[in-house]
């Protein structure tokens, strides 16, 4: 392929008028486009550099779970991580986390503690009865049978509850719906998965819960 500009290859006896210059510029544009296309073929194997026009096809061939609402960046992340996620289906690091981070834009984490007391032993007369989590003794709550756990069963300490901090305190309703859709095939059966964020005070604020 000869180097540009094309006008250098037009015989000198032709006048270098505006029409010839426009013709030459158009040839330059076509040749440069062909050159870029040929040299850009090696980018097709790199999901972060591949042309946007082929992302849907790549996602289809890899079963990357691309959705109609996904932007290019989300598609690229899904394509780049899909093989590993297929190998580790249902894992947080290789399956759930990339899908959440692609939407929330943060560094999502599974949290194991929220920064408050795990269980509250009450019966001192100072705690309102509506706040009982656990009761000990024979004060009428457990009929003297010992310890009675009367929580809702969705506390972080209860097995089967998974709390995920998406690292974004401002998810829109649409973004929440997208995360919910992405997580449908990831959430384990018979588990509760709580999606939310931890605020500056260390409290978990729930967006929604999935499972069961």
pLDDT in tens, 134-190: 545 544 554 444 454 556 778 887 888 999 999 999 999 999 999 999 999 889 888
Distance CA 21, CA 14 (A): 11
Please state, as a whole number, how many other Cβ atoms lie within 10 Å of the Cβ of residue 128. Answer: 7
pLDDT of the residue at 68 = 87
pLDDT of the residue at 79 = 92
What is the SS3 assignment for 207? strand
Burial class from Cβ neighbours inside 10 Å (0-12, 13-18, 19+) for residue 169 reads middle
Q: Would you say the pTM of this structure is higher than 0.75?
A: no
Average pLDDT over residues 38-42: 75
Nearest by Cα to 61 from 78, 37, 43, 38: 78
Please state, as a whole number, how many other Cβ atoms lie within 10 Å of the Cβ of residue 36. Answer: 9
Average pLDDT over residues 95-99: 91
Average pLDDT of the chain is 82
Share of the chain above pLDDT 90, in %: 38
Distance CA 7, CA 26 (A): 10
Q: Which residue has the higher pLDDT, 84 or 109?
A: 109
């Amino acid at each position: 392929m000869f180097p540009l500009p094309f006008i250098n290859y037009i015989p000198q006896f032709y006048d270098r008028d505006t029409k010839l210059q426009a013709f030459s510029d158009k040839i330059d544009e076509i040749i440069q486009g062909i050159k870029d296309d040929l040299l850009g073929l090696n980018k097709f194997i790199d999901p972060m550099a591949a042309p946007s026009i082929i992302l849907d096809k790549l996602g289809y061939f890899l079963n990357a779970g691309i959705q109609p609402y996904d932007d290019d960046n989300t598609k690229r992340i899904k394509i780049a991580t899909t093989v590993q996620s297929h190998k580790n289906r249902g894992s947080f690091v290789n399956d759930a986390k990339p899908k959440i981070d692609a939407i929330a834009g943060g560094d999502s984490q599974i949290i194991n503690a929220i920064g408050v007391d795990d269980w509250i032993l009450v019966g001192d007369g100072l705690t309102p009865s509506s706040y009982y989590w656990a009761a000990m003794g024979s004060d009428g709550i457990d009929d003297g049978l010992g310890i009675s756990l009367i929580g809702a069963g969705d506390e972080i300490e209860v097995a089967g509850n998974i709390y995920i901090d998406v690292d974004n305190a401002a998810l829109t309703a649409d973004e929440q719906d997208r995360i919910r859709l992405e997580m449908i095939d990831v959430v384990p059966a018979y588990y509760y998965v709580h999606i939310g964020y931890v605020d500056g005070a260390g409290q978990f604020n729930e967006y929604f819960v999935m499972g069961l």
